[in-house]
Structure 1
Amino acid sequence: MKILSLLLFFVTFVFSSSINFESSLQEAKEEAIKKNRPLMIMYSTPTCPECNYMKKKVFKDKEVSSYANKNFVSVVMDINENKKELPFKFIGIPSFFFVDARTMTLLDKSLGGMREKEFLSVLKKVDK
């Protein structure tokens, strides 16, 4: 029983320290409007090494995930699957777009993979 409790705690902790992503741009937009937060849109592909680094390492950082979940509503868009739905042009991936959800006005953008502290700085700069 103790092992099961510890396992449940560990699984809950692991999943709670990650950025929460909405399943679609429309859902993210609605949630951002409801919570009065900006959108963070990440353009990605499953085979992009820097994108996968961000998802597996940076987004699981406790400080990054906590800050992002508190201040943004986030969504990942696969550039191959969502070509017609991509709201902004891009020159590479990962691309991050920070957007006013009500007007879909671009507030800021960032290109490329980065380490935890650098990404946290980007988030804080946008959130000012």
Structure 2
Amino acid sequence: MNQANNPLHGLTLEAILTDIQSHYGWEGLYQKIRINCFNDNPSIKSSLKFLRKTTWAREKVEILYLNKHKLALPPHLVAVYTQSPKEPSAKTQGAKAHSARSHSPKSHSSQPTNARQSDASASDDSANVNAHIWGKN
């Protein structure tokens, strides 16, 4: 990436966070970006620690900074900013497909088909647990 076209070039994450925190405050930051480090005992130090480890959160903070200063988004943030919530990324789609496969309902003929039958069989099973110990046959 050509850094000459990147408005964030030369700015530290601490400078970006300090700038937007002084403008919006912690409550305002939390309203703009729902990240617990802005809500739960917030500080610059703890927020920086989280943002440095979490790419998606750091990108949101960078986008907020750029929008506040009416600066153009660099190419690496354009995809993040323009992706609508209804358009999941390929990574998310793959996870959903895997989740659907691994949690698909399996039919077993011995299992009850509705909740009432399930409750009835559960109460029958619980009544028979340890029946030989308690003398109930």
Shared topology, TM-score over 0.5? no
- The structure where helix makes up a greater share of residues is 2
Bigger Rg, which one: 2
- The structure where strand makes up a greater share of residues is 1
TM-score (normalizing by structure 2): 0.23
